[in-house]
Amino acid sequence: MATGPGIKSEWIEAENIVVRFSGDSGDGMQLTGMQFSDTTAFLGNDLSTFPDYPSEIRAPSGTVAGVSAFQVHFGSSAVFTPGDRWDVLVAMNAAAFKADFPRLKRGGIVIANAAGFDRKGLSLANFPEGANPLEDGTLDGYTLYQVDFNKHTADSLKGIPLQPKEVARSKNMLVLGLLFWMFDKSMEFTVAAIRDKFLDKPDIAEANIQALKSGWNLGENMEIFTTRYVVRPASLPPGTYRNVHGNQAIAIGLMAAAEKSGLGLFLGSYPITPATDILQELSRYKSNGVLTFQAEDEIAAVCAAIGAAYAGKLATTTTSGPGLSLKTEAIGLATILEIPLVIIDVQRGGPSTGLPTKTEQADLMMAFYGRHGEAPLVVLAAKSPNDCFRMAFEACRIAIEHMTPVILLSDGYIANGAEPWRFPKADELPAIRVQFLDRTNGPDNTLLPYLRDEQGVRPWIIPGTPGLEHRIGGLEKEDKTGNVSYDPQNHEKMVRLRMQKIQNVERDIPLAELDSGTTEDGLLVVSWGSTYGAVKTAIRMLRNDGLGVAHLHVSYLNPFPANLGDILGPFQKILVPEMNSGQLVSILRSRYLVPAKAFSKVQGQPFTTEELCNAISEHYNAK
Amino acid sequence: MMQLAFTEPAGKLSPKDFASSQEVKWCRGCGDYSILKQVQTIFPDLGVAKEDFVFISGIGCSSRFTYYMDSYGLHGIHGRALSIASGVKMANPELSVWVISGDGDSLSIGGNHFIHTIRKNFDINMLMFNNQIYSLTKGQYSPTSEKGKVTKTTPFGSVEEPFDPVALALGAQARFVARTIDSDPKHMRDVLLRAHGFRGTSFVEIYQNCPIFNDGAFELFSDKHAKKEQIILLEHGKPLVFGDAQQMGIYFQNGRPRIAPLGDPQFSEDDLWIHDETDRVKAVILGMFSRMVQDGRPFPRPFGIIFAQEGETYEAMLYAQIEAVRSRKAKMDLDQILSGTKTWNIQ
């Protein structure tokens, strides 16, 4: 398709571009964005995407509350975030412009649908009477392409027998065609996708393809379009890639762990934003025997999972903050029972109902300490959409091999964000060791349900095993026998045994390694969870500028990697950026007595690279 | 490991084989002893391998039951036994799952799980020991305590109306509802056998005397003389009769139950209520007897199988659906799951 520079067009080579497709909920921006992303991925760019929809299901059309956007950041070098600001804003109406113009890069491009900036559109977006940002000088210094997409779509589809509504709905494909022209991307992947999607509706398929091509031709023929951009393929590691969302990656990770452990997968869950996708995704895999249970509430969901774990399944429960609050008592039960249980918390803004569709990392302390009594468990965090796969698998492996609940923290940002993933082959994944006890393990043919191996792990004994009938429960139990015991010395011993068992997990996880930099650097930035991409990007930029800053990312939070203290030790300055008021930093300071400082943001929004760069260099330069 | 695998002793099990090594620590005279004994008595004859029995309990005096049965057992957290049990049953439908709970555990803190587990119809047997009091916390009123109950938290009497657990279970679309009492071991054994044999959630309310905090709560139904006037022993296909000489009956006229002596000329013979376990409408009315009064006389309390009608169980439908999907859609291997449908190569 690439035709080389046209007669009139000027070519500009760019390393990275962020496009924000923004429109009314009914404008099809998610689909447009995804198609654009798929094509850029197929053609070898690295990318990261982020959908941004309103929390209301059907907000009034044409209003700012009803704006739905899809953001894609693609580049010829590695891309770790969906981007702070955009180079190109596609605004399908005045409301979309109002919502997303503030974060358009200075001098950036606006592609505006003129039909959405009529009197009605401007008024719904609450622009003052008579004001139109496309005409009043707001865009001085920017590049504005103003096209009536509605009219062009109607014109291009003359002769195809369609209802006016269906014609109007095709305008997003016209926009997409124009973008493909602008970035010199082949239309063939989208054409194939459209044909596939509308197999039994050939008229609709033709209309969409026609609109797509018309969009390309619009760029080719209209005088106003003078500039095209080239973003060369990135030098990604060779291999086979797919696109994956964080929540999808978690579902795949759980299924992979089930397969690799030979256990049936059980998910007990209750719908909650932004974790629901995992339940929805797994409920599709009936043919693989995945058991999904939509319980009456969060508590029933985790308790059913505890029952399933007791009976020998790989049992998981998925939730977000309010649900984790409700599950805490049951998680304490799983802790004292010492059974494998994977709890996935896709964090959102809190406290209480908080910001359901916005992101935050404020459940870390809760994951560490949010149970009554001494109730240690394993805490992990995923750092990117595709890392959700690795950490979900790890959560299952550790839960099973160490007979413990594991909390995996994700968040709304990576749950909904997507990126290319060089997925592993099944046989590259490690086997997960499962052994159900099938005979007595104590002297004189007795059973000791809490007899521990060298890792401090008790046996998994499932009902139905002849001769091993025994009772377990939430009351404190006697060492080894598991019988109820109120003995003071025994209680302290059991508390310590359970703690030691969790501490022993450190022998079974990778050592921490600097992501970049060396111990000679003047400042160490420590990140966890979804801030990884933004921190990594900021550190790269600062190091390119000659700043001596190192970066450590922590995926295994409890226990920490055994060498974490050794890595932190030499640094005189440590900065811990978190989307909370400073939770990991408190734990690091108390655990390792290091001079770590917090850089906090609690706005329901991810860090921008820019604010991280500023904070890091400020701290670096501080006396 | 040099241990030999444990093998089941040959021959039939006895009730003793279901008694665990743990000392039973209920109060002297507690009705729980009788329930434990009846369960241990019937278990050898149920045709279930010992290792396939699982007891799940919540919190309260009743819930200690789990520790005293030599079977698999999980003593859970307050109100959640049914949820844990549903997970066990989904994970392994072959197990015979028994839930032990009390009136506070089931109907107060666990009320949500009570209605939904019953509605979903897992094949589990739920024995709810109703003593109309919180005993383990030493005497506070419960959701089944009568209005006006004086307890430590209601020194001037409680101001709320109680639940009738039978009515509540039926309201939650229960398919098996029965009531029995600790003081009538044979009746309890019969009811437990029926509960075990029923496929679906079997809800059994057991009136259980707490001699410490609510002694005599069910005296009317346990006293040898009083009970004849106060209870109806339900039998499928038999009329609802009671009284010292079984001389009283329940008639059903104009859509309402009426108490009358047998042969009362006001009623025709056809109006005499014949118990039909499968009649849900009449079961609901039986569930209301506990709060019905005729000319100042409370209705007698029905005991026995109030309602029993099998339907498909949750776990059976869950696995049937998996089989149905498998018959038209092959299992995906892990590589297919990992790759999804759209991939691309980078050289």
Cβ atoms of A519 and A548 closer than 8 Å: no
CATH superfamily for domain A10-230 = Pyruvate-ferredoxin oxidoreductase, PFOR, domain III (3.40.920.10)
For an interface test with B, which of A76, A267, A288, A290 has the most B Cβ atoms less than 10 Å from its Cβ? A288
* Set of chain A residues whose Cβ sits within 8 Å of the Cβ of B72: 463-464, 469-471
pLDDT score for A8: 61
pLDDT mean by block of 10 residues, chain A; 623 residues: 53 94 93 95 93 79 93 95 96 97 96 96 95 94 95 92 88 96 95 93 93 95 87 93 96 98 98 97 96 98 98 98 98 98 98 94 98 98 98 98 98 94 98 97 97 98 98 97 97 98 98 97 97 97 97 98 98 98 98 98 94 97 90
Q: Which residue of A has its CA nearest to B1?
A: A441
Cross-chain Cβ contact A303/B347 below 8 Å: no
- Report domain extents, chain B: 15-237+275-315, 239-274
Q: Measured at the alpha carbon of residue B32, what is the angle toward residues B30 and B37, in degrees to the nearest 5?
A: 120
pLDDT tens by residue, chain B, 347 residues: 344 444 445 578 999 999 999 999 999 999 999 999 999 999 999 999 999 999 999 999 999 999 999 999 999 999 999 999 999 999 999 999 999 999 999 999 999 999 999 999 999 999 999 999 999 999 999 999 999 999 999 999 999 999 999 999 999 999 999 999 999 999 999 999 999 999 999 999 999 999 999 999 999 999 999 999 999 999 999 999 999 999 999 999 888 999 999 999 999 999 999 999 999 999 999 999 999 999 999 999 999 999 999 999 999 999 999 999 999 999 999 999 999 988 999 88
> Three-state secondary structure along A503-541?
HHHHHHCCCCCEEECCCCCCEEEEEEHHHHHHHHHHHHH
Rounded-to-integer distance, Cα A173 and Cα A217, Å: 12
Query: Is B320 in CB contact (< 8 Å) with chain A?
Result: no
Cross-chain Cβ contact B344/A42 below 8 Å: yes
Cross-chain Cβ contact B87/A242 below 8 Å: no
* Set of chain A residues whose Cβ sits within 8 Å of the Cβ of B73: 470-473
pLDDT score for A1: 37
Query: Is B159 in CB contact (< 8 Å) with chain A?
Result: no
- Of B7, B83, B84, nearest to A467 by CB-CB distance is B7
Query: Is A252 in CB contact (< 8 Å) with chain B?
Result: yes
For an interface test with B, which of A232, A245, A310 has the most B Cβ atoms less than 10 Å from its Cβ? A310
Cβ atoms of A150 and A188 closer than 8 Å: no
Cross-chain Cβ contact B92/A470 below 8 Å: no
Query: Is B327 in CB contact (< 8 Å) with chain A?
Result: no
DSSP string, B74-119: EE--TT-HHHHHHHHHHH-TTSEEEEEEEHHIIIIITHHHHHHHHH
Q: Of the candidates A139, A138, A119, A137, which has an alpha carbon nearest to the alpha carbon of residue A129?
A: A119
Rounded to a whole number of angstroms, the distance from the CA of A355 to the nearest CA of chain B is 27
Chain mean pLDDT for chain B: 95
Query: Is A295 in CB contact (< 8 Å) with chain B?
Result: yes
Q: State how far the alpha carbon of A21 is from the alpha carbons of A53, A78, A175, A215, in Å.
A: 11, 22, 9, 15
Cβ atoms of B73 and B54 closer than 8 Å: yes
Rounded-to-integer distance, Cα B275 and Cα B284, Å: 12
Rounded-to-integer distance, Cα A13 and Cα A377, Å: 50
pLDDT score for A26: 86
- Using DSSP's 3-state secondary structure scheme, residue A186 falls into coil
Query: Is A339 in CB contact (< 8 Å) with chain B?
Result: no
Rounded-to-integer distance, Cα A38 and Cα B343, Å: 10
Cβ atoms of B134 and B142 closer than 8 Å: yes
For an interface test with A, which of B113, B346, B347 has the most A Cβ atoms less than 10 Å from its Cβ? B346
Rounded to a whole number of angstroms, the distance from the CA of A57 to the nearest CA of chain B is 28
pLDDT score for B2: 43
Rounded-to-integer distance, Cα B165 and Cα A541, Å: 67
- Report domain extents, chain A: 10-230, 242-428, 443-507, 514-621
Q: Measured at the alpha carbon of residue B97, what is the angle toward residues B91 and B102, in degrees to the nearest 5?
A: 125
Q: Of the candidates B236, B235, B218, which has an alpha carbon nearest to the alpha carbon of residue B227?
A: B218
Rounded-to-integer distance, Cα B181 and Cα B192, Å: 11
pLDDT score for B10: 54
Cross-chain Cβ contact A439/B5 below 8 Å: yes
* DSSP 8-state secondary structure symbol assigned to residue B140: B
Q: Which residue of A has its CA nearest to B115?
A: A296
Tokens of residue A565, six digits: 């203290």
Rounded-to-integer distance, Cα A615 and Cα A620, Å: 8
Q: Residue A234: exposed, middle, or buried by beta-carbon count in 10 A (0-12, 13-18, 19+)?
A: buried
* Set of chain B residues whose Cβ sits within 8 Å of the Cβ of A300: 80, 83, 86, 112-113, 116
- Of B4, B75, B335, nearest to A473 by CB-CB distance is B75
* Set of chain A residues whose Cβ sits within 8 Å of the Cβ of B59: 474
Q: Which fold has domain B15-237+275-315?
A: Rossmann fold (3.40.50)
As a CATH number, domain A514-621 is 3.40.50.920
Q: Of the candidates A396, A383, A405, A384, which has an alpha carbon nearest to the alpha carbon of residue A255?
A: A396
B26-57 pLDDT, tens digit per residue, is 999 999 999 999 999 999 999 999 999 999 99
DSSP string, A473-510: ESS-B-TBT--B---HHHHHHHHHHHHHHHHGGGGGSP
Query: Is B226 in CB contact (< 8 Å) with chain A?
Result: no
Q: Which fold has domain A242-428?
A: Rossmann fold (3.40.50)
Tell me if A10-230 shares its fold with A514-621: no
Cross-chain Cβ contact B7/A471 below 8 Å: no
pLDDT score for A195: 94
Residues facing B177 on adjacent strands: B203, B307
Name the amino acid, one letter, at B313.
T
Rounded-to-integer distance, Cα A152 and Cα B111, Å: 60
Contacts of A402 (CB under 8 A, 6+ apart): A340, A378, A455, A457, A501, A502, A504, A505, A508
Cross-chain Cβ contact A311/B321 below 8 Å: no
Q: Which residue of B has its CA nearest to A41?
A: B344
Cross-chain Cβ contact A241/B346 below 8 Å: yes
Q: Which residue of A has its CA nearest to B87?
A: A304
Cis amide linkage into residue A356, ω under 30° from 0: no
Name the amino acid, one letter, at B104.
G
Cross-chain Cβ contact B88/A266 below 8 Å: no
- Of B95, B334, B343, nearest to A240 by CB-CB distance is B343
Residues 73-132 of B with CB under 8 A from A: 73-77, 80, 83-92, 94-95, 112-113, 116
Q: State how far the alpha carbon of A27 is from the alpha carbons of A157, A183, B342, in Å.
A: 17, 22, 25
Residues 296-315 of A with CB under 8 A from B: 296-297, 299-300, 303-313, 315
